[in-house]
Every structure is written in C-alpha cells, then in structure tokens.
Structure 1
Amino acid sequence: PLLGRIGLAAGLGGMPSLARAQGASSATMRVACIVPTGAIDPISHSDGGCTLLVQQVGEFLCVDGPDLVLRPALAESWKP
C-alpha cells in the first residue's frame, strides 16, 4: 500500500504506457551541450565539448574504457 502510494505520487501510476510526445517532422530540436574550447577537429580535440560534437556526426575506430584499455568501436581488430 505505501509503495503504491509513493509510485502514484511520483507519477508512475496514472500515465498511459503508450503515451509519446508527437512533434512535427520539420520541427527544430535544440540540444544543450558543452561549448568546445578550441577548434572542432576530430583528430586533435582535447575537451569534452568537442568530443560530444564529434560523436554526433561520426564514430571512433576505438574507444578507451574506464580502465584506459582500448576497445574496438568501428575497428574490428588492430595490431600494435
């Protein structure tokens, strides 16, 4: 009972599961992101803002994981 009331208070109970926002096909979508500190260059970027912009239009050959070990993205394999 208490958990159900908490769910209703949070808006989980009264919303239709299939409700989706509808927008015009020619509408403009604005996205907030960090402003790059320098030139937007996919080869030599060094800040988070540039990385976010580059990732929106392309994909890297490999990426580094949390342990700083390179993992394949587009590249299937490579030799050092």
Structure 2
Amino acid sequence: MIPIHELLSRIRWDKEFARGEFKIGYYDRLADRIIQVPFTDLVFPKDDHFAFLIWDEDGEVHSIPYHRVREVYKDGRLIWHRKL
C-alpha cells in the first residue's frame, strides 16, 4: 500500500492522476468517527510535512496528522484505506 503522504502528494502534483473528485476520510477522536472532507478543502502548510489543515463549519482550524487519515475516495470509489 502506498504511504498516505505519497498519495496526497500525487493528488496535489500529478495533474493527470488528480482529475476527478477526491475526498479524504480522517478519524476524529472527539466524535469517534470518520469525517469525510473534499480534498479541495485541505491546506498543506509549507513547514509541516506531517499534517494538513481544515476549517470546520464554525470557522475553527484543525490540524489533522496524516496518520489519522483512514480513507481516500476518487469519484466516489474507495482507492485507499487504513484500518482503525
């Protein structure tokens, strides 16, 4: 299985592979469930190679470590997953 940081990089930088709609499912410890977010909502800070940022509906920013990513979907089809 490809490491998640490599898959996220490929989605970001490989224009041919990145065609389509991607969703990332990450494990939220407080909600105790997987939260799915559109890949286009993710922000990758230049100085952090282990996490991405997302904003919730209240405008609060959350740093999500790569190890909490559990699923990646492309056009609604599961293309990558990690067990809980």
TM-score range relative to shorter protein: under 0.3
Q: TM-score, normalised by structure 2?
A: 0.20
Q: TM-score, normalised by structure 1?
A: 0.20
Larger RCO, structures 1/2 (Cα 8 Å, 6+ apart): 2
Which one has a bigger Cα radius of gyration?
Answer: 1
- Greater fraction strand: 2
